[in-house]
Amino acid sequence: MPFPNFHAARVKSPDAFQNIVVLKTLPDGVMIYGGKLKGETSSTAQAYRFPKSKFSAEQAKSWLKSHDIKVTLFEKAEKSDQDDLLRFDRAVLRGKAEDTPEGYVRADAVVTRTGVLLYRNNDGSIRRELRHPDHVFEAASLDSMKMIPITNGHPATKIVNADTAKELQIGNTGENIRPDGKFVMASLVITDGQSVDDVKKGKSELSLGYYSDLVKEDGIYGGQKYDHVQTNIRYNHLAIVDRARAGAMAALNLDENEFFEIENDENDLSINDPNHNPKGGNMPKINIDGIEYDCPQEVINSHGKQAAKIVELDAAAVTQKTELDTLQAKNDEQTTKITELEKATADEAIQKAVKARVALIDGAKKVIIDEEEVKKFDSLTNADIKKAVIIKKHTDKEGKVNIDLEGKSDDYINARFDAIVEAAPVNDSSAHADNTRKIHDDNADHQDEAADQEKSQKKMVTDMQDAWKDKKEEKK
């Protein structure tokens, strides 16, 4: 049967061994299982296990190959409905207990034992699991019980971790964990005031929460039948619980993990009743959506804390929504201002460009006086007009161009144009046309010329505005 937390590689059948224990745990976490073969006195490896937290299945196979280990069966780590279950054992707080000056309770107590324990399956049937001394007293198992949290009742989440320890922990076990006959003794201290009061009022039962791997095996131990063996036992927390609620663990959805003392008569049907209460007392009730449920006090307390957290989270969500709306309003305001600034900048740039275009054309008219050529300026760029002026200046009477502008830079074109315009005399016809536009001469020819000039300038402004819009779209 596959293990939930380990990849397993079998090298010999377990039926060939007198007993099987952990022979060695390597630094990389690989555990070597084995024992004495039947009729032999020396130990032999039976299987290798690789923690899946450190090895993938392929890495485990590669490790085996690199160590020349021949495997008869390899099983990848895989959960089943009976594997990796959280167990809850019970023991009564007994041994030397004392109050400390700080008000704590310090004790040396029995916390669990070896032997056959009974657990309820999901279908209500009973499973008999052997906690063999080889596994219970294994060094790695005992070490996992050191310095673990103590809780007041088992948590609704079943386990304690770094996220829940601050809320759940009422004390901790010590480092003095040791076998004592068939029992395991542990030093512990309870530091929470309410929990100390609960212990003094009789809440003196201890219950370990732990994980283990199950190996299917039928046999008899100490006169008791068993059908599974717990291996790789690792502890998570130790809880103080009220014996009166021991039979109500099913309310925590832990019926598959419920523990029964072996002294229970297997014919006593009460052990199959998840609502059985050994003391016959009434359970506390919790009201959820108008319906009352029987529920252990630990769950009621946890439910109340979770409900309070939900209220806090709802309030925080409202606050965050308000802050988000405020930030959005500020962002919208800034966007509006940016849009206005861009529009103002665009208008200013257009006006500046229009003035520069008018000045350019006026300068060009000092050199190019032919009206037909001047009309073509509307379809030319500023650079093309400057080139036309330079070419005009360097064209002889026979129409031969005496200058080559191919490949010339913008700075070269600008400099040549400015020099030509600066040296050119004022064109009488151009000046006359300007004067005509100013005094609105009634001469029809001059009126047409003025109208054409105004039309050209309007077209130029429109073209430049459209060009500016295009550039703005390109930036987006």
CA distance 195 to 180: 27
pLDDT value, residue 459:
64
* Residue 234: CB atoms within 10 Å: 14
Closest CA to 412 of 395, 390, 394: 390
pTM of the model: 0.40
Question: What residues pair up with 62 in beta bridges, in sequence order?
Answer: none
**Which amino acid would we find at residue 445?**
D
pLDDT value, residue 280:
37
Tokens describing residue 175: 């480092």
* Residue 201: CB atoms within 10 Å: 9
Tokens describing residue 390: 């330079």
Evaluate the CA torsion angle 458, 460, 462, 464 in order and state its sign: negative
pLDDT value, residue 336:
84
136, exposed or middle or buried, with CB in 10 Å at 0-12, 13-18, 19+?
buried
Residues 6 or more apart whose Cβ sits within 8 Å of residue 233: 131, 135, 136, 138, 141, 144, 210, 211, 212
For every residue of 135-175, DSSP letters joined together read HHT-HHHHHTTTT-EEEES--TTSS--TTTHHHHEEEEEEE
Q: Which DSSP state fits 251?
A: G
pLDDT value, residue 266:
35
Residues 6 or more apart whose Cβ sits within 8 Å of residue 439: none
Q: Which DSSP state fits 72?
A: S
The alpha carbon of 209 is separated from its chain's Cα centroid by a whole number of angstroms, namely 28
pLDDT value, residue 260:
39
Do the Cβ atoms of 7 and 50 come closer than 8 Å?
yes
pLDDT value, residue 442:
47
pLDDT value, residue 122:
63
pLDDT by residue for the chain (476 residues), tens digit each? 567 778 899 999 888 887 777 788 888 889 888 888 888 888 889 999 998 888 999 999 999 999 999 999 999 987 654 444 556 555 555 456 688 889 998 888 888 888 888 877 666 678 888 999 999 999 999 999 999 999 998 887 778 888 889 999 999 999 999 998 888 888 999 999 999 888 888 777 788 888 888 888 888 888 888 998 999 999 999 988 875 222 322 222 222 333 433 333 333 323 333 333 333 345 566 767 667 777 766 677 677 677 777 877 877 787 888 888 888 888 888 888 788 777 777 778 888 888 888 888 888 888 887 888 888 888 899 999 988 889 888 898 888 888 888 888 999 999 988 998 888 876 554 444 454 444 444 445 555 555 566 666 666 666 666 665 555 555 55
CA distance 338 to 109: 74
Question: What residues pair up with 21 in beta bridges, in sequence order?
Answer: 34
H or E element: which one contains 128? strand 126-131
